[in-house]
Homo-oligomer: A and B are copies of this chain.
Amino acid sequence: MLKLQNITYAYDQEPILKGIGFSVNEGEILGILGLSGSGKTTLLKIISGLLVPDEGEYLIENQPAFIKQKKSDKVASELGVVFQQFNLFPHLSVLDNLVMPLRLRTKKPKSECIATAVELLDVLGLKDQIAKFPYQCSGGQQQRIAIARALVLNPKILLIDEPTSSLDKENTKKVEELLKSLHGRGLTLIIITHDLPFAQAMCQRVIELSEGRVVFDGLAESYFNA
């Protein structure tokens, strides 16, 4: 489904990714692990089309993801992304953070969009927060809102950066169950995380980044048993 080959990226001359290659198959759950600063978030921004790689090839469903430095429409329409810093819309209520993109993307009537959004927020234990603004929510609530916002559009592939960093055990479980059920319905998942128990519970395959290179790429089982 996704295929990256020899991708390099540098921030102002400082090389971060030094030739990354791997592929993601449809319906897979891939974990991306690595130390803080190893380039996981940078890689996520490349996969989601926000950064253009300096070199290398990136194919999405066998077509180039970047055509003349501009990302193809496919990238945005098939991918959902949860950012490490959430990037919620501060001027919109929690509900509108979901409803606004949903309405624009699906053109469905407002009431229908609201119903979809409320349902999803409820699953993540956020029913009481829908009228609040992001700044009025706790850290873990914000994280779940960000997850809900990415999922409400029903992406084919979900990229998610540290999804459980601010979550307690119980909420982690909720997220885990939600993602697994969506995976059961065909969602492909790419999860960046340092939460090893969570990774072990979720991922089928794992790659590990270190100093800008892939140092492990294989089954989760063999990674965690090594």
In the complex, A116 has a CB within 8 A of chain B: no
Q: Is the CB of B85 within 8 A of A37?
A: no
A18 nearest CB across to chain B (Å): 16
A138–B171 CA distance with the chains assembled, in angstroms: 24
Q: Among A50-58, A97-105, A160-168, which stretch is in contact with chain B?
A: A160-168
Q: In the complex, what residue of chain B is closest to A161 when comparing beta carbons? A: B139
* Secondary structure class of chain A's binding surface, majority of residues: mixed
Tell me whether A140 is interfacial, beta carbon within 8 Å: yes
The minimal Cβ–Cβ distance linking A181 to chain B, given in whole angstroms, is 20
Question: B194 and A168: CB pair below 8 A?
Answer: yes
Give the number of copies in the complex.
Answer: 2
Instruction: Say whether A36 contacts B168, CB under 8 Å.
Output: yes
Q: How far is the CA of A144 from the CA of B35 in the complex (A)?
A: 13
Cβ contact within 8 Å between A168 and B11:
no
Other-chain residue from B84, B144, B170 in contact with A166 (beta carbon distance below 8 A): B84
Instruction: Encode contact with B along A19-40: 1 for CB under 8 Å, 0 otherwise.
Output: 0000000000000011111001
- A36-B141, A37-B140, A167-B194 are known contacts; what are 4 more A-B pairs with Cβ within 8 Å? A11-B136, A36-B167, A140-B194, A162-B166
Enumerate chain A interface residues (CB-CB to B < 8 A). 11, 33-37, 40-41, 84-85, 125, 129, 136, 138-141, 144, 161-162, 165-171, 194, 196
